[in-house]
Structure 1
């Protein structure tokens, strides 16, 4: 090429291809056009992928049946803008909800029992805040005196579903403490949210080694409270069966028993701990999250019969509760929730007591105001590893006899797949696995080695 040749002259060698990869300018232009067309198709395909809801896909395809036209529109304005335009004249929201039910609700009038504690927040708040009615359900949430009553009414089918302690469905299924009946736990109601509270006369006895002879209360034999208290005592060298007394007391009666000097303390659900502080009869020794951060406590539970014979009702009920749980995860909603669940027909507590629990800014009874935002939190996923840990403690303390197939029982009772599906629908991100190791008082639990875990404890009833 001449040194004086115009490089942009179509007849020059350089003009043959600006990028130097093609034999002629026309070949280059054709390649660019093809690349742009492929990019447009990729963009349109990406927009179509954003239409993850089956209802949205069906409506868009019905309105724009021609593939090429639909992709051009999606490329031009995007899936979000298109759906927003459609919603102006088509009730997409109602269509999505109707589709999600995947069939007619078999039973709309339901009874769900609960214990008046903040662990039941999603189950309770779903009533006054409209989460049940949104899904076509007329749910009567029934305040119940204690866990044995909840269990009996659930087993007698007086309740369609219930607020239970996480270990209860496992105990019911394995026949621990009752006849074996297949039971399920589709969702965890809360994580953390408990504490060890001691009578004010013990404020100088902060070392558990000095607690020999103490009388403690827990809500139920098959409870995280019982297992966490036993774990905490045993790690400090106190045998929970011989060095102290542990008795079951319904949560609404715990503060009165502490005031009457019938007990020295309790590991209890809130707002019981905060009410003891509010009334000046106790102080918070330690939050349960300091024993095991992220531990499960209470749960939404239903019989396997209910789940299988009324699948659409079950799905609607579970989704309402998981939506309420998602709402409760946001700190900015906690004061509103406290006002909704504090009244007499629910928790029957001063709003300030419930607020202190839910917001994590609270008086500890020792003259300090603590700020622990995750004092209680809400995470519905029923980890199978949670179930295995609970079963190891039932075995450790002699409640569960004989050989135990930990994995089989965990996966039969804790319905992780159902929870994961509905969590996605309400904008929560479920974990990709159902098993995970964690630490309790610094000791790692491997769910794949339950027997080795039990054997590692010096104090046990095996």
Structure 2
């Protein structure tokens, strides 16, 4: 690339188009190349780790243990079961958790792939880490898949491309497959959540001008951004505001803003804050335009955020391909869960074709050691994590919030919808066949949100307990 200077603006270079096809300075080009080299080296190191016997054992154990946890969420109950029935029966139970017979391939031989060339959409946020890192680390390729991971501008576009079959699978906000399956905001198209991509990993970020206005009871008239109506961000922000006496429909404004535009809107004063995905909470601090008011981990520790999923039709037509995708993403999640890998992962996902963010920002998010924008360095290792289990109890909670705020009208069969969309099903029946007794069911554990216990067995009672809700 050549570089010339404008005689009327000696400080500003005139640029010819770079050989890479973009307009930027030599320094910018070299900086991008340095980021890519660091990413490639980090990916190489992680690939080498994934090929060790230690990781193979860990990965297999992670997949098995994660799925067994879906059946028995309590440690002692799980240990008693394994002692009572042995490994072989336990693996049979694991295979029964997901309602696609070919997913037994996770513990058995792989079936012939029905489709090998796939396009997967993602939004450039850290929530998509397992799905993204599986690409440069070769996890898709190891399963015989040729996957193109495609950066997408916003969630409505993700939804439309999935409905139109332009994507084979996608990074979703975890409530989206519920909404699409129910025809909320789009034509009803059955979708499934295969795995949760991440837990925690979000925050309420406010403009620096509100440093001395931290009490949400004083936030009437504020303007907030969330990434999509059918998002944990929207539901958690509404929950937080309502618990502090603020009606999210009448006392504040909540608008949909693509994640990549949140920091710019905060800087411009168009919004007072946002409940959004990382890395944009940390990017607001990095750019000195905002501060982290509260991590969503502190509202609901372990809450789901984004998911990996596809259409029910794709699973039915391509069960072995889906199983291969499932294995790829679970393997990436296994690696992402290990703290020792987080700094390398930050390098892998930093380049422009993925998140296009400073490595320092991603590193703070993934390691949990971060500047909060208020002059302090926080150390919260659980700020973001990657537990892939799509608990149906979480789906029930999402449905209660959709109903609470008027997105769903009338009666809701919470359990039927959750079991149809979130792929942990029929475990109770299988375990009954093994002589095990259940009451509420293995995938319907209770959750605590802002100090209040949510019992998924009593969603209607939970919904009625809120003083602030849509009339």
TM-score normalised by structure 2 residue count: 0.75
Alignment correspondent of 2:375: 367
8 Å CA contact 1:101–1:312 kept in 2: the answer is no
Q: What is the aligned-residue RMSD (CA, Å)?
A: 2.1
Structure-2 residue corresponding to 1:456: 465
Q: Corresponding residue for 1:425? A: none
CA distance in 1, matches of 2:107, 2:453: 43
CA contact (8 A) 1:364 1:370 kept: yes
Contact 1:169 1:185 in 2 (8 A): yes
Please name the residue that 1:177 is paired with.
185
Cα offset, 1:314, TM superposition: 0.3
**How is 1:104-123 mapped onto 2 (pairs within 5 angstroms)?**
104-123=112-131
Question: Is 1:314 aligned to 2:322, yes or no?
Answer: yes
Task: Give per-residue Cα distances to partners, 1:399-457, cap 9 Å, x unaligned.
Answer: 001211000000000002599xxxxxxxxxxxx92110011000000001111101000
Is structure 2 residue 214 aligned with structure 1 residue 206?
A: yes
Distance 2:209 2:351 in 1: 31
Does structure 1 conserve the Cα–Cα contact (< 8 Å) formed by 2:105 and 2:111?
no
Aligned equivalents of 1:247 and 1:183: distance in 2? 26
1:378-457 to 2 correspondences below 5 Å? 378-416=386-424, 433-457=442-466
Which whole-Å deviations, capped at 9, do the CAs of 1:353-382 have from their partners, x for residues lacking one?
000000000000000000000000010001
Cα contact 1:101–1:316 (8 A) shared by 2: no
For residues 97-121 of structure 1, the C-alpha deviation after alignment (integer angstroms, 9 at most, x for no partner) is 8984542101111000000000000
Name the SS of the counterpart of 1:239 in structure 2: coil
Which residue of the partner structure matches residue 195 of structure 2? 187
Given the superposition, is the C-alpha separation of residues 53 and 452 from structure 1 closer, same or farther in structure 2, using an over 3 Å criterion? closer
List 4+ stretches of structure 1 deviating above 6 A: 49-54, 96-99
Corresponding residue for residue 75 of structure 1: none
Question: Counterparts of 2:409 and 2:336 in 1: how far apart (Å)?
Answer: 38
Secondary structure of 1:337 counterpart:
helix
- Say yes or no: does 1:246 pair with 2:258: no
1:179 Cα shift?
Answer: 1.6
Aligned-partner Cα distance in 1 for 2:273–2:161: 29
For 1:97 and 1:244, locate their aligned partners in 2 and report how far apart those are by CA, in whole Å. 50
Query: Alignment partner of 1:374: what SS?
Result: helix
Alpha carbons of 1:101 and 1:142: their partners in 2 closer, same or farther (altered >3 Å)?
farther
- Inter-CA distance 332–244: structure 2 relative to 1 (3 Å threshold): same
Cα displacement (A) at 1:176: 1.2
Inter-CA distance 53–397: structure 2 relative to 1 (3 Å threshold): closer
Q: Does 1:226 align with 2:223?
A: no
The question of 1:346 aligning with 2:346 is answered: no
Question: Partner of 2:325: helix, strand, or coil?
Answer: helix
| Aligned counterparts of 1:277 and 1:134: Cα–Cα separation in 2 | 38
Q: How many residues align?
A: 363
Say yes or no: does 1:328 pair with 2:314.
no
Q: Structure 1 pair 51/231, CA: closer, same or farther in 2 (3 Å)?
A: closer
Shift of 1:196: 0.2
Q: Decide whether aligned partners of structure 1 residues 98 and 385 sit closer, same or farther in structure 2, where only a CA change above 3 A counts.
A: closer
Shift of 1:274: 0.2
2:172 aligns to what? 164
Cα gap change, 1:318 to 1:275, in 2 (>3 Å): same
Query: Which structure carries more relative contact order (alpha carbon 8 Å, separation 6+)?
Result: 2
Alpha-carbon distance in structure 2 between the residues aligned to 1:379 and 1:109: 27
Deviations 1:185-231 (A, max 9, x none): 01100000000000000100000011110000000000000000000
* Larger Rg, first or second structure (1 or 2): 1
Corresponding position of 2:155: 147
In the alignment, what sits opposite 2:272? 264
2:11 is matched with which residue? none
CA contact (8 A) 1:186 1:418 kept: no
Query: For 2:89 and 2:363, how far apart are their aligned partners in 1?
Result: 38
